[in-house]
Homo-oligomer: A and B are copies of this chain.
């Protein structure tokens, strides 16, 4: 059995020498290296920005979506959307464990796991697409995938249904980071707060900001308003288009009495929302960009352009304990669990 690199560089075909995530093409040969884990894949959870793009390209047609997805994997050896650059994650069953991992992993063959590394770097074979759950970005397949030695995963718990776990684990980085960033008494805005990552962020923000804090949800329509407010996820609800920075500025000014926000969390799935996030933040405040549609230069030059001294953080999909924190929310709040079961599972 061949010896593999911890990061999976041995699988990179083009361009040579770089890591699997930035690579254009990786090998999805399903004969494992000595430090790899083979997974029988059950379901893919496609990243929201990626799936939105694929659905648009396919004009909503299911056969065309299948074709696009099969094409991506055929070309790249992984499901990295060439337009958005993003991936998603998967659940499945451990089928084989490389001998070099014995003693270092707590996994055994037959364990059900969710991979917590992006599909944009995961060697994947799709034999067949069985079912597409259009509204929750989930796709059941017959296929196999490889987890590298440095790859992170979570064992699926018994007390939370698989599809629900998959849905929330996909965005686990966001609530976990929120938990770290929010301090008591702060004003926090979640842009796209009624979305899948958004509601988890609102929940953590409410918990941390406490009774002296103010948590605001921003959506471009009020269709989710009752759901969010009835669940007690936010103190205020703003209806605005996040691409209209000046309108967002005006409405956040209104609802914060001109004080603006200590922390703005961007959870949208569309481009050109950097400026709204920046303008909604106080000087010396923080913007946390979880959205994969964020442009680095738009954020950097945007803040400079309006002379705004804000700390802007790139939403790292991983932070310690993110899976536990997120699954715990589903145990802690029956209200939220009901919402996520009905919307995303």
Contacts and interface: CB of A to CB of B under 8 A. Distances in A.
Contact of A302 (B21, B300, B313): B21
A150 B306 contact: yes
A122 to B, nearest CB: 9
A303 interface: yes
B314 A300 contact: yes
Interface residues of A, number: 59
Interface stretch (A12-20, A102-110, A211-219, A256-264): A12-20
B312 A318 contact: no
A52 interface: no
A334 interface: no
A7 B272 CA distance: 17
A316 B305 contact: no
B309 A318 contact: yes
Nearest to A284: B320
Interface in A227-285: 243-246, 272, 274-275, 283
Interface in A283-309: 283, 289, 292, 294-309
Contacts of A307: 116-117, 150-152, 318
Nearest to A320: B309
Nearest to A318: B304
A337 to B, nearest CB: 25
B297 A85 contact: yes
B275 A19 contact: yes
A314 B301 contact: no
A316 B320 contact: no
A126 to B, nearest CB: 20
Nearest to A319: B309
Contacts of A197: none
A9 interface: yes
A326 interface: no
Contacts of A178: none
Interface in A128-181: 150-152, 173
Contacts of A45: none
B311 A22 contact: no
Contact of A316 (B22, B116, B311, B318): B311
Nearest to A153: B307
Contact of A245 (B18, B243, B317): B18
A262 B240 CA distance: 39
Given A301-B85, A304-B316, A246 B22 contact: no
Contacts of A320: 283, 309
Nearest to A287: B314
A118 B304 contact: yes
A249 B296 CA distance: 24
A164 B121 CA distance: 44
A93 interface: no
A304 B301 CA distance: 25
Contacts of A295: 85, 296
Quick one: which of A120, A306, A320 has the most chain B CB within 10 A? A306
Given A18-B275, A116-B304, 4 more contacts: A151-B307, A296-B299, A312-B313, A313-B314
The 10 closest A-B pairs by CB, nearest first: A304-B317, A312-B314, A85-B297, A152-B307, A21-B305, A304-B318, A303-B316, A296-B296, A121-B305, A118-B301
